[in-house]
Every structure is written in structure tokens, then in C-alpha cells.
């Protein structure tokens, strides 16, 4: 009898603890929601301060396919809008993704039974998800021109105008690499911190490719990243970080802060530099590219305690579909792309921009 009473007390105690933990989690979740959606700072500016980009590569593939296919339809679809709709539905958790969920949305839009506006009218967080996902994926799909092989043409190539994926995998075509989802794992060099990038293990000297068109914002040695390149997208929402580049010959010789690069251009070479205040030190055991993607909704987030870095594992899986082929110039030892490419946005900036330096910070301005 005594044992039975003790057991009941233990069960009651466990139940109280469980309810307390549930309440605490709900409180923390509520606070997290507030941290995501209440975005005004002390200056009164509104901008997103936190993003958990959890969109699966499968969902990106599906949305991208519908976007491209719809260019032949009367109703044109926006792949980011499709993902944002499901982001709102899933609470950002794309482990719940089912293709039929997206197919149902597409059918309603294609048949004009619904519009994006009508579908999202009662969605509390749709605008947040759209802005967040657009910050990651904006500019990745659109029109461009590219050379393609054609044996009947002079030089064996012809130009084609296309609509589709305008971004590339950061590792050149035909070069092997391995990777796993290592975002957020512990790092200890210098100080204990989380790994805010995606490591792609490969061979020293592997050509590194610009994922998106943009301008070089940082170039040179960093104690943690070694030889590194930082490229900013033209809309300034994305900062691509390529680190641990090769010793002695880390990046393309003509690159400088302010250089404009187009998606698919060779920008550097894989290595193992870093973890030293001394330049050109090979202190990384396994050769790899550290690829990072920072989102910037306000310039105060750049190089601060409020930086937003996203997990790129699924994005890399998605980008694998678009790899840039390269060839080596035996005289200069430089690699360049085999098939030339014209990104209309990059072309516009090349012909209509000037560079300006204020307090040692680079900025790019449109000049018409």
C-alpha cells in the first residue's frame, strides 16, 4: 500500500514537471515568434532579425519546376511565393513537405480558382516567409544568355537566351567533393562558437565558382577563414563567403574589391588556409571550401552580433543541378569557364555603375 502511494506521488511529480516543461516551451516558442515578427529596433526601423531557412531541396526543386513550366501558361507562377505559402502552412518546418500540397496550390492558381492574394489573405505570417525566402533565393531564377555547344556553328558554340536557374554550385563541374549538414556544430579555434557555414571537402586547387552575380566586397586574409572572398548580391540582401582558399594562389589574379563577377565565373581555388594570424598559413587539416551565406535586411546586421547566417545544406543539394564547366590556361595557370554567360543584371551594373569608398567601406551606386 505504501509502495502504491509512493508510485502515485512519483507519477504526480513527473506530471507536474512535464506540464512545467510544456509551459516553458510554449513560453519560449511565443518569445521566439515575437523575436521573428516584431522587428522594430530602437530607431524605429523595421527589418527581419532572425531567419531559420529550413526549405528542403525537394521543395525547392518542385517549386522551381512549376515556376519554369508556368512561363508557357497564362498564369505565371513565382517559386518563392509557392514556398512562402507552404512555409506559412508548415510553420517553416519543411520536413512536413508533400508534393501534393504544392500541386493543389498550383492547380488552384493555374485554373484561376484562386490568386496568391486570395490564398494568403488570412495567412498571418505569409509576408514574413516571403521576405525571408526572397532574401535567400531572390535573383536565382530569371532570364539570361549562355553559350551552348553546337558543332555546326563557328567555334562550336552558339548563344541561347533562356529562363531558369541563374546560379551555380560553388564547386566546378567534374571536380569531386563531399559534404554533410554541419551547420551549427561546435568550433573552438580562437573561442568557442558555432560553425556558421557549409564545408565542402575536395582537392586543393579545385576551381571555386561564384554562385550568384555580384560585386567583391571583401578580399584577402582572415584569421579564421584564411584567404577568403566575400561577394555581395546586387540587391545587397546576400553576402556569399568563400573561405580557406589555396595557399600562394588563392583567387583569380584580376579580382579586387569592387570587381563585378557573374554567376558561374571562377573566383578562386580550394585550399586549407586559415586558423592563424600569420598570412598564408595552412592550418586546416582537411582541404575544403567553407561556403557561407549571410542575409542582410539592414546594414547594421553586417559584421555585428546580429548577423543572420543560414544553413546551406539543402541549397547546395539544389544547386548541384547547375555546375559550371571550366578549363585551364596552361600559361597563366588560371581557370575560366568554358561556356560564357550574360546575366542581364550584372551587365546593367557593369555599364551603369560607379564605385565609391566611404570610410574604407565599399559601396556601389547606379550612374545613368
Transcribe 143-200 into DSSP letters: EEEEEEE-TTSGGGEEEEEEEEE----SB-TT--EE----TT-EE-SSS-EE--SEEE
pLDDT at 41: 57
Tens digit of each residue's pLDDT (9 = 90 or more) over 217-240: 999 999 999 999 999 999 999 999
How far apart CA 194 and CA 191 sit, in angstroms, is 10
Which set of grid coordinates corresponds to residue 157? 558554340
Residue 350 CA: distances (Å) to CA of 134, 211, 213, 367: 24, 18, 11, 10
pLDDT at 47: 93
pLDDT at 171: 98
Query: What does the DSSP assignment read for 90-112?
Result: HTT-GGG--HHHHHHHHHHHHTT
* CATH 2.70.70.10 residue window(s) in the chain: 177-362
How far apart CA 235 and CA 191 sit, in angstroms, is 33
Q: Residue ranges of the chain with pLDDT lower than 70?
A: 1-44, 184, 186-193, 353-368
Enumerate residues 6+ apart whose C-beta is below 8 A from 276.
223, 226, 283
pTM: 0.85
Which set of grid coordinates corresponds to residue 106? 498550383
How far apart CA 252 and CA 45 sit, in angstroms, is 39
How far apart CA 178 and CA 161 sit, in angstroms, is 33
pLDDT at 192: 62
Write out the CATH class of domain 177-362.
mainly beta
User: What element of type H or E holds 292?
Assistant: strand 288-295
Amino acid at each position: 500500500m505504501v509502495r502504491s502511494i509512493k508510485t502515485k506521488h512519483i507519477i504526480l511529480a513527473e506530471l507536474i514537471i512535464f506540464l512545467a516543461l510544456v509551459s516553458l516551451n510554449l513560453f519560449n516558442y511565443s518569445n521566439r515568434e515575437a523575436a521573428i515578427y516584431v522587428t522594430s529596433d530602437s530607431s524605429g526601423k523595421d527589418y527581419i532579425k532572425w531567419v531559420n531557412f529550413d526549405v528542403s531541396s525537394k521543395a525547392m526543386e518542385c517549386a522551381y519546376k512549376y515556376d519554369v513550366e508556368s512561363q508557357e501558361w497564362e498564369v505565371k507562377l513565382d517559386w518563392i511565393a509557392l514556398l512562402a505559402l507552404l512555409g506559412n502552412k508548415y510553420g517553416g518546418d519543411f520536413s512536413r513537405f508533400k508534393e501534393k500540397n504544392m500541386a493543389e496550390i498550383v492547380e488552384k492558381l493555374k485554373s484561376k480558382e484562386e490568386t496568391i492574394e486570395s490564398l494568403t489573405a488570412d495567412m498571418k505570417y505569409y509576408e514574413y516567409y516571403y521576405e525571408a525566402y526572397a532574401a535567400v533565393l531572390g535573383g536565382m531564377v530569371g532570364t539570361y544568355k549562355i553559350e551552348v555547344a553546337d558543332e555546326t556553328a563557328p567555334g562550336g558554340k552558339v548563344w541561347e537566351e533562356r529562363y531558369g536557374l541563374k546560379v551555380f554550385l560553388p564547386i566546378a563541374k567534374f571536380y569531386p567533393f563531399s559534404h554533410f549538414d554541419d551547420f551549427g556544430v561546435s568550433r573552438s579555434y580562437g573561442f568557442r562558437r558555432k560553425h556558421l557555414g557549409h564545408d565542402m571537402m575536395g582537392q586543393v586547387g579545385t576551381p571555386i565558382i561564384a554562385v550568384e552575380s555580384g560585386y567583391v566586397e571583401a578580399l584577402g586574409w582572415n584569421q579564421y577563414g584564411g584567404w577568403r572572398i566575400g561577394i555581395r548580391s546586387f540587391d545587397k540582401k546576400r553576402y556569399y563567403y568563400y573561405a580557406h582558399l589555396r595557399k600562394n594562389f588563392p583567387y583569380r589574379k584580376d579580382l579586387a574589391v569592387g570587381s563585378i563577377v557573374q554567376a558561374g565565373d571562377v573566383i578562386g581555388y580550394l585550399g586549407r588556409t586559415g586558423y592563424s594570424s600569420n598570412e598564408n598559413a595552412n592550418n586546416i587539416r582537411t582541404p575544403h571550401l567553407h561556403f557561407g551565406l549571410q542575409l542582410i535586411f539592414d546594414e547594421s546586421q553586417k559584421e555585428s552580433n546580429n548577423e543572420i547566417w543560414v544553413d546551406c545544406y539543402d541549397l547546395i543539394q539544389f544547386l548541384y543541378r547547375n555546375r559550371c564547366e571550366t578549363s585551364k590556361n596552361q600559361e597563366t595557370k588560371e581557370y575560366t569557364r568554358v561556356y560564357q554567360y550574360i546575366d542581364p543584371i550584372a551587365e546593367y551594373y557593369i555599364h551603369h555603375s560607379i564605385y565609391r569608398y566611404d570610410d574604407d567601406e565599399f559601396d556601389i551606386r547606379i550612374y545613368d
